[in-house]
Structure 1
Amino acid sequence: MKKTVIPLKRLIPGLIIGPASWLGPYIVMNSLFLPALIQHLNAANKVNLVALFSTCGMIVAAISNMIAGALSDRTKSRFGKRAPWILGGATVFMLSMILASFATNIPYLLIAWMIGQSALNFIVAPMVAWLDLAPKDGRGTASSAYGGLGMALGNNGFTVIGALFLSQYRLGFILFGIFTLIGTLIAVLIVHEPSSTEDVKHQEKKGSTFSFKEITQIFPKWAIGRDYYLALIGKLFQGVGNFAITGYILYIMTDFLHRGSNTQSSIQLINTIMLIFGILMGFVAGPISDKFKILKFPVAFSTIFLALGAITLFLLRNNVGIIVYAFSAGIGMGVWNSLDNLLNLEVIPDPNRVAFFLGVYNLGNTVTQAIAPVIAALVISWFGFSAIFIVSFIFSLVGGISMLCIKSVKR
C-alpha cells in the first residue's frame, strides 16, 4: 500500500498554526487565568490547590494522550485519521473552558479543568502524528515547523495578550477557548487529510484488529523497541536537565545570583534571547537536517548546549554567565524542539501506531515538568542552589548520550 503523503506547502502552515492554537491558550489559562480564579475561590489554600490541579492534570493527560493516539491510529473516516479527533477535542476543550469560566467553587472548577485536560490531549496526540504525512525528504522541515515554530509561538507568543485579560480572567477562559477551536479548525482545513478508509481496510486485511493480546502488550519488549525507549529516556533526562533550571529561574536570580532589582530584567533577557534563538533554529534546523541527512547527531549534541549553559551560569554568576546561558539554552532547545519528534518518528516500533507512540513520547514534556521541580527541590535542600546546575549538566549529557546510542538512525 502506498504511504499517504501531504505536500509541505499545506503541511507546514498547519504544523505551525495547529500547535500554536492549542498550546498558546493552554499556557495562558494554566499560568494566568486558572491561578487567578483559584485565588478568587479559595485564596487561603491557593498554593496547594494549584499543585492539586497540576497533579490531577498530569495524570489525566497521560491517560487521555495514549487513548487518543491509539484511537486515531485506528480511525476510519473520509476526513482522515486525525482530523475528527482534533476537532472533537478542540470543541470539548472550548466548552469545558466556557464552563470553567462560570465556576463558583473548587470542585466544579476541577471537574471542568480535568475535562479540558483530557480534551486537549485529543488534539495533541493526533496532531503530532501529522509529521508522518510529510514527504521523506521534507520531514526535518515539517518537524521544525511543529516543534521549532508552532510550539515556540504557543509557549511565548500568547502570554503578552493573555496578561491583558488578567483582571477579566473569566472572559479570558471563554475567548481563548474559542480561539483554540478556530485555530485548530483552520489548521485542519489547511492540512486537509485524505480519507483513511482505505488505510483501515488494508490493516483489516492484514489482521490488524484489536485483540486481548495486543491490549496486554501495549509496549513492545526491549529487543523490539530498544531505540524508541532510548529516545524516550533521552527526552526524560533532557527535560529534567532543562526544567530543573527554568522551573527555579526566579529563585536562582534572587537567592543564588542575588540580582535584586535586576531580577525581572534578567529573566526577561533570558526569555527574549531563548525565544529569538528558538524561532531561528525552527527556521534552519529542519532544512539543514533534510539537506545533509543528519538527525541523531544534532538532537544529541543539542543537549551539550544545555549542559554548557548550566555550567557557565554556575561558574560565572554574573551578566556574562546569564547571557551565555540564554544563548546556549536557546540554541540547544531550539534544535531539540525542532528535531526530537522527527527522531522519535524514525524509531517508532510499530508504523501502524504512530499517534500512540508519538503521544507517549510527548508526555515527556508533561512528566518532566512535574518531576524536575521535585528533584531540584531535593537537591537544593541537601546541597544548596549550586548543586542544581550540576544536576542540569549531568541530566542533559545523559539525555544526549542516550540519543547517541540509537542504532537505527545512523547520523
Structure 2
Amino acid sequence: MKKTTISLKRLVPGLIIGPASWLGPYIVMNSLFLPAIIQHLDAPNKIQLVALFSTCGMIVAALSNMIAGALSDKTKSRFGKRAPWIIGGSFVFMLAMIVASTSQGIAFLLGAWMVGQAALNFIVAPMVAWIDFAPKEGRGTASSAYGGLGMALGNNGFNVIGAMFLSQYRLGFVIFGVFTFIGTLIATLIVHEPSNLDNEEVATEKKEKPKLSWHDIKTIFPSWSVGRDYYLALIGKLFQGVGNFAITGYILYIMTDFLHRGSQTQSTIQMINIIMLVFGIFMGFVAGPVSDKLKILKYPVGFSTIFLAIGALTLFFFRNDAGIIIYAFAAGIGMGMWNSLDNLLNLEVIPDENRVAFFLGVYNLGNTITQAIAPVIAAVVISWFGFSAIFIVSFVFSLIGGISMLSIKSVKR
C-alpha cells in the first residue's frame, strides 16, 4: 500500500491552525468558562463539581477517542480518511457548546459538556494523524508545527482572549464553539487530504471482507513486550499532563482563593498566558528543525518536564509576582519543547503502522483525559492538604513523566 504524502507547504499551516482551533477554545472553556458557570449555578460545591465533570469527561474522552481513531483508520472516502470525522466532530462540538451556554442547571450543563467531549475527540484522533502525511525528512517540522505552534496557540494564546469573557462566560461558550468549527474547517481545506478510494488496500478489502474475530479484539492493544516503548511514551504523556493541568485546570481558583489576586486575576492570567505563548511559539519554530538536523528527540522531550517541575515549585515557595513570572517562564519553555516534539516521539514508537490514527489518538488523550484526571486528583489533594499541595503533586508527576520518556529504548537520543 502506497503511503499518502502531503507537502509541508500545505501540511504545516493546517497543523498550526487545526490544533489551535480545537485546543484553544477547549482550554478556555474547560479552565475558565466551565468553572465560572459552575460557580454561578452551585458555588458551595464548585470544587467537587469540577471534579465530577472531569471524571465523566475522562470516561467519555477515552472511549470516543479510541472509537474515532479506529473509525478514521478504516474510512474510505473521496475526502480521505481524516477529513470527514474532523469536520463532523467540530460541527457537533460547536452545537454542544452553544447548548451548554443556555444551561440553568448542573445536570443539563453536564449532558451538553459530555456531548462536546465526545465530539472533540472525533477531531483530535484523526487530526493528529495528519503528522504521518509529512515527508520522512520533514516529520520533525510537522510535529513542531502541530505541537509547538498549534498547541502553543491553543494552550496559551486563547486564554489571553478568553480571560476577557470571564464576566460573559455564556457568550464565550458560543463564540469559542463557533470558532472551533470555522478554524477546523479552514485547516482541513488547507491540508486538502486526497481521496483514498483508489488505494490498493481498498481493492483488497472489496474482494476480501474478513470478519472481526475475538483474536482481533484481544489484540487491539499489543502486549508489553511488543509495545513497551509506546506504553512508556503513553505513561510519560499522562503523568506530564497531570503535572501540567493540576495547576492550569485550577488557575482561576488558584488566583482567587490561593494567591488572592482579586481584581488582578484577569490581568495575571493574561500575563501568564502571554509569556507561555511567546516561549511556545519560539520552541515551535526552533525545536522541530533542530531535532531534524541533529537527530535528537528523546532527550529534549524527557528533560522538558524539569522546567514544568521547577515552575510548580516556584508557585509553592514564592507566592507573589516573582513566583508567578518564574512559573510562566519555566512552564513556557517546558511546554513549548514538549509540545513541539512529543507527538513525533510517539510516532516513532507506534507498534502498528496500519493503525496510526488509533495509536496517536490514544496517545493524545493526554491532551484531554489528563485535564479530566488532574482536577480529580487536585480536588482530593486540596480538600485534604489545601491549595499549596497541588504544586507538589505537579512537581512529582512532571518528573515521573520525564523519566518514563527517557526510559524509551528504540529512540536512542
Q: How does 1:88-103 map to 2 (within 5 A)?
A: 88-103=88-103
CA shift for structure 1 position 347: 0.6
Instruction: Tell me the alpha carbon deviations over residues 314-357 of structure 1, each in whole angstroms, 9 at most, x when there is no partner.
Output: 55666555443332221111100111111111111111111111
For the residues of structure 2 that align with 1:379 and 1:212, how far apart are their CA atoms?
Answer: 41
**Residue in 2 aligned with 1:54?**
54
Quick check: 1:405 aligned with 2:411?
A: no
Query: How many pairs align?
Result: 411
Tell me the amino acid that sits aligned with residue 333 of structure 2: I
Instruction: Tell me the alpha carbon deviations over residues 75-133 of structure 1, each in whole angstroms, 9 at most, x when there is no partner.
Output: 11121100011111122222333344445554444333322221111111100110111
**Residue in 2 aligned with 1:326?**
328
Task: Assess, with a 3 A threshold, how the Cα gap between structure 1 residues 382 and 106 changes in structure 2: closer, same or farther.
Answer: closer
Tell me the amino acid that sits aligned with residue 62 of structure 2: A
Please, what TM-score do these two structures have when normalized by structure 2?
0.87
For the residues of structure 2 that align with 1:339 and 1:61, how far apart are their CA atoms?
Answer: 23
Tell me the amino acid that sits aligned with residue 4 of structure 1: T
CA shift for structure 1 position 69: 0.4
For the residues of structure 1 that align with 2:319 and 2:173, how far apart are their CA atoms?
Answer: 40
Task: Assess, with a 3 A threshold, how the Cα gap between structure 1 residues 131 and 317 changes in structure 2: closer, same or farther.
Answer: same
CA shift for structure 1 position 136: 1.1
For the residues of structure 2 that align with 1:245 and 1:47, how far apart are their CA atoms?
Answer: 14
Unaligned runs of 5+ in 1: none
For the residues of structure 2 that align with 1:330 and 1:169, how far apart are their CA atoms?
Answer: 26
**Residue in 2 aligned with 1:134?**
134
Question: 8 Å contact 1:74–1:200 — kept in the other structure?
Answer: no
**C-alpha root-mean-square deviation of aligned residues, in Å?**
3.2
Task: Assess, with a 3 A threshold, how the Cα gap between structure 1 residues 89 and 252 changes in structure 2: closer, same or farther.
Answer: closer
**Residue in 2 aligned with 1:158?**
158
Quick check: 1:188 aligned with 2:188?
A: yes
**Residue in 2 aligned with 1:242?**
244
**Residue in 2 aligned with 1:17?**
17
Please, what TM-score do these two structures have when normalized by structure 1?
0.87
Quick check: 1:8 aligned with 2:8?
A: yes
Instruction: Tell me the alpha carbon deviations over residues 201-221 of structure 1, each in whole angstroms, 9 at most, x when there is no partner.
Output: 267389886433212222110
Unaligned runs of 5+ in 2: none
Quick check: 1:229 aligned with 2:231?
A: yes
CA shift for structure 1 position 392: 3.3
Question: 8 Å contact 2:242–2:370 — kept in the other structure?
Answer: yes
Task: Assess, with a 3 A threshold, how the Cα gap between structure 1 residues 199 and 164 changes in structure 2: closer, same or farther.
Answer: farther
Q: 2:397 pairs with 377, 395, 404, which one?
A: 395
Instruction: Tell me the alpha carbon deviations over residues 161-215 of structure 1, each in whole angstroms, 9 at most, x when there is no partner.
Output: 4455556555544443332222111111110111222154267389886433212
Task: Assess, with a 3 A threshold, how the Cα gap between structure 1 residues 78 and 138 changes in structure 2: closer, same or farther.
Answer: same
Question: 8 Å contact 1:76–1:200 — kept in the other structure?
Answer: no
Q: 1:277 pairs with 276, 279, 293, which one?
A: 279
**Residue in 1 aligned with 2:347?**
345
CA shift for structure 1 position 254: 7.5
**Residue in 2 aligned with 1:201?**
202
Question: 8 Å contact 1:75–1:200 — kept in the other structure?
Answer: no
Quick check: 1:361 aligned with 2:363?
A: yes
For the residues of structure 2 that align with 1:243 and 1:113, how far apart are their CA atoms?
Answer: 18
Task: Assess, with a 3 A threshold, how the Cα gap between structure 1 residues 209 and 397 changes in structure 2: closer, same or farther.
Answer: farther
For the residues of structure 1 that align with 2:257 and 2:92, how far apart are their CA atoms?
Answer: 43
